[in-house]
Amino acid sequence: MKTNNKVQNLETIKVAAAQLSPVFLNKEKTVKKAINAILEAGKNGSKLIVFPESYISCYPDWVWSIPANQAKQLNNLYVKLVENAVTIPDDTTEKLCKAAKTTKINVVMGLNEKNSETSNASLYNTILFIGENGKILGKHRKLMPTNCERLIWAQGNGDTLKSYNTSVGKIGGLICWENFMPLARNAIYEAGTQIYVAPTWDKGANWLGTVQHIAREGGVFVISCCMTLHINDLPEELKNIYVKGKEWISTGNSCIINPSGKIIAGPLDSKEGILYAEINLQEIIAAKRSFDAVGHYARPDVFNFSVNTQN
């Protein structure tokens, strides 16, 4: 007799990934674009929208191309990045919260965050979580900037490795190559995450394999969201740092994945758009029947796991 492993959709939730280009190094215009996407997703019935890594107000891709001895150019770009960064809370977060409340949609936003607790001159690569009631739920600061990114972002702390209760379930996540860190992933799983968000700059086959693995390993829905960025989106001073003829700096490849590792929306390639998918949280329970990394497979009698949550 054939068996059907698919869970009957008793109650589904629509979620979204906003694969959009920022208005490069322009916070005000990027926020307006984000708000329009939030309103659109809400009107289309989505209860959650996820934005790319450092969407406000750009991913500083120049760190991979401009030599470190070009201090004047790097200083000018860094000053602009800080001037267009976000303090949590501030007028920018207030606008995002208002849009979330207006449409009753949960928002996950990637942004450059100022270290407002001290100098306001250093930056964190941050995910901001906003509930459908327009209240800030919390934030996650990227633990470990990758390679040249260390010239831009400071290191986050363990106290932001959390999940948040929302109207669509528990939401948590990591940023880009943090997702390669097994212990960081385990912390997010242990937090009870059901919808795992992965704002990222990475894309392509290898990255898709990573997030599909995470979905299966964690028994979670994964929303991988990367911005598109075309050469024409850049200011003139940055266009010449790329190989002549290169059009797409980032092609996006955003997608939504179910707990069995199947891509159920996307990947969206080389164009802007909002991806939608219907999800059913019962699929998580079904997946964890066989493998629950922080449940019956955790073996606390063999392994010890802890997170330092002190600043």
Cβ atoms 308, 143 nearer than 8 A: no
pLDDT at residue 10 in the model: 55
Nearest to 63 by CA among 201, 181, 232, 210: 201
| 53 catalytic per annotation | yes
Nearest to 232 by CA among 20, 67, 78, 23: 23
Which CATH superfamily includes the segment(s) 13-290? Carbon-nitrogen hydrolase (3.60.110.10)
Distance CA 223, CA 54 (A): 16
pLDDT at residue 3 in the model: 38
Please classify residue 29 by burial: count the beta carbons closer than 10 Å to its beta carbon, then call 0-12 exposed, 13-18 middle and 19+ buried: middle
176, 225, 226, 255: which is the annotated catalytic residue? 176
What distance lies between CA 81 and its chain's CA centroid? 19
pLDDT at residue 126 in the model: 98
33, 53, 58, 217: which is the annotated catalytic residue? 53
Tally helices (H) and strands (E) across the chain: 7, 13
| 10-residue mean pLDDT series, the chain (311 residues) | 44 96 97 98 98 97 93 96 98 98 98 96 98 98 96 96 96 98 97 98 96 98 98 93 92 98 97 98 96 95 91 70
Distance CA 132, CA 106 (A): 4
pLDDT at residue 9 in the model: 47
| 142 catalytic per annotation | yes
Cβ atoms 186, 193 nearer than 8 A: no
pLDDT at residue 88 in the model: 97
| 176 catalytic per annotation | yes
User: pTM for the complete prediction?
Assistant: 0.94
pLDDT at residue 2 in the model: 41
pLDDT at residue 8 in the model: 44
